[in-house]
Amino acid sequence: MSLEAQRAHILTGQMYNDLTGELVAARQRAVLLTNAYNDSFGAPQAQREALLRDLLDHVGPGAHFEPTFRCEFGYNISVGAGFYANFDAVMLDGARITIGDNVLLGPRVSIYTSNHAIDPDERVAGACYARPVTIGDSVWIGGGVTINPGVTIGDGAIVGSGAVVTRDVPARVIAAGNPARVLREITERDATGWRPDAL
């Protein structure tokens, strides 16, 4: 089966064989491209974004990953304008990872769409499945957060450091913990009136 046919099959959420030659080669390509991107740190932004566009499905203007960034395939990842990931971001993108505009990831954030089979014989044989992850606009994900398959995080949400996100997080809330739970809503009272020209 071609890589395109396997990608289409994986995106339907059905079990797939993680050990096929085409998927192994796609992972190797992603390693080479992420190495090139990580090694380009300090180069002009346009050059770095061009490297990201070779790797990812969509890259908004001003998108930036601090080294090191790792992903499984890259071709299922879309990041919006003003996206910023601090160091050691990891994205397993068997299914789609869609990230909105002005999203901030703290250090060592991991986003997983892929999961192995529960049955040990199937797992050893390479059986996997994947569920998409969607992160809205203006979201802040704290350091060390793990986001699990199938999760949606709403616009303007904050996920506290070290959280393990196992279910959807609504818009404009603060969530934290393991498993992550909503602590409170973000309201107008959280606005301090600060502006960039205040300094």
Cα separation, 153 vs 172, whole angstroms: 10
Q: State yes or no: is 116 an active-site residue.
A: yes
What secondary structure, in 3-state letters, does 30-88 show? HHHHHHHHHHCCCCCHHHHHHHHHHHCCEECCCCEECCCEEECCCCCEEECCCCEECCC
Q: 9, 58, 64, 116: which one is catalytic?
A: 116
Q: Which residues are catalytic?
A: 116
